[in-house]
Amino acid sequence: MFESSPQDNHVPRFANFYDGKSVFVTGASGFIGAVLLETLLRCCPGIKSIYILLRSKKNVQPEARKEQIFNRKLFEKFKEETPEILKKVRVISGDASLPKLGMNEEDIQLLVDEVSVVFHCAADINFIKPLQFVLTNNVLSVSSVIELCRQMRKFEALVYTSTAYSNSNHLNLSIKEEIHRLPIRAEKFLDALKNEDNEMLQELIARCKPDWPNSYTFSKCLAENVIMDTASDLPVAIIRPSVVISTWKHPMPGYVEGNSGLTALSLGVGKGFIKVAYADPHCKVNLVPADIVANSHVLAAWSVGTKRSASPLIVNCTATESLDVKFSEHNESLTELVREFPLPQSFAQPQNLIIVPYKYLYYILAAYYHYLPAIFLDGMLRILGKKPRVYSLYRFLDTVMSSVNFFLFRNFEFERKNMEFLDKLIHQEDRKDLALDFRDATILRMTLSIPEVCPFYDWKIDRKSKSQRQRIMYMRHMLITGIQGIFLMTCCLFIYWAFSLIFR
């Protein structure tokens, strides 16, 4: 697999590889993409330019969206100490879901002339959107990126962000660092997507068995096949993160964004909105810090770009033993966090999440803890002339959870040889700023570091003060408890009435 020994005494500092080079990044507005952008700016001072692909979103133009990225706490230190370094980042207007990434010819030519390294992080991670939509966004973009790389005059490396669960459909729950080959060549899927031939697409998908747990994981497996079928001759690395959580060390411990993966579910629990979940409490959740994921991208590009590893290099960027934790353990850490640090904009007083491994018991508990209060609260909103939304939010929650239930009842094992290989290549002097060894990280310590730096812990986003919010939560808690109490009393009276009729 590898063309050089990790013990090679002549291994250069990885940052030297980036000196004088320009880099192209898609998905820089996402969590992983933003952490990668910060890592490149901080760890590769000799980098010439970083071009980021951004589209207009909600009437916000790409240049304005770049400023929104730089307003995140991730880039605070740069803005205070070395604001000039941010000028290295230049916006390319486009859309990863469109042909040629939605770029104009002038920008394409600029990238062709200037860029040496490409990081393709952009993806639609919505698990419940139609399969054709997800494939169009997550697979056609890979094909467009590969076509662009082939035109680049200085091209040296492409790094693609996949997922550790791209092969999760197989009964063998041990995931190797290799591409699972589909029974049909990827070009057939690409042709069907480009021609918008939905009938042919469905026929091709039906031949790929066993079924994937959701459209996102299948799209990533297909994207990996596109790389194998159309770019195996290029220096390519595929990074497969498991469940991405907050940063471990850099640029600050505990940074995470509220719309990223497991964090969104955790926020629902921490704000007292989600009280019961359908899952195996003993099922392990494989967690990897966001800065480790970014570091693996930077190092993988260097490794394949300098031919220190064969291509394509597949890296399962997954947890060490200390972060391969039971779902119940993660919940305990979360509970300890919100008890010590209450969340702004909380719905109700948080409580221990009830984790239920039995489907019908979950339905009963969800009806009692979620839907019963939701019906009454929505009724009150209607009376007040406001839009009812609590019941629909719980319906949406159940839809999302059904797309990930597969992972909450199965334990996966991941091969990590290539991850360990990359770690051994890191120069000793570089380890203080960029590392892949996070064996010392623990879920409790990482969780408790979140409030200091996370945007969703900023009380400025809450229109209420802490005392006002606590009063509202208490009143809502009493109202919900009263609703549940009346319901239980009604049930008891009904049972009493029924038995009295039977045994009269």
pLDDT tens digits along 427-484: 888 888 898 999 999 998 999 999 989 988 988 889 888 889 889 888 988 999 999 9
What pLDDT is recorded for position 263? 86
Q: Determine the distance from the C-alpha atom of residue 456 to the mean position of all C-alpha atoms in its chain, rounded to a whole number.
A: 17
* 1, 309 contact by CB (below 8 A): yes
pLDDT tens digits along 234-282: 999 999 999 999 999 999 999 998 776 788 888 999 999 999 999 999 9
What pLDDT is recorded for position 5? 44
The pTM is what?
Answer: 0.92
**Average pLDDT value over all residues in the chain:** 91
- pLDDT (average), residues 495-499: 84
473 secondary structure, DSSP code: H
Amino acid identity for residue 19 in this structure:
D
What pLDDT is recorded for position 349? 85
- pLDDT (average), residues 88-106: 95
How far apart are alpha carbons 231 and 139 in whole angstroms? 14
Candidates 500, 19, 34; CA nearest to 259 is: 34
pLDDT tens digits along 277-314: 999 999 999 999 999 999 999 999 999 999 988 889 99
Please give the C-alpha separations between residue 53 and each of 97, 115, 119, 131, in angstroms, as whole numbers.
11, 13, 11, 24
128 secondary structure, DSSP code: T
Amino acid identity for residue 188 in this structure:
K
Burial of 483 (0-12, 13-18, 19+ CB in 10 A): middle
User: Quick check: 9 pLDDT over 70?
Assistant: no
Distance, first Cα to last Cα, the chain: 81
**Looking only at Cα atoms, what is the longest distance across the chain?**
93
Please say whether the structural domain 14-258+285-325+412-452 has been given the CATH code 3.10.580.10: no
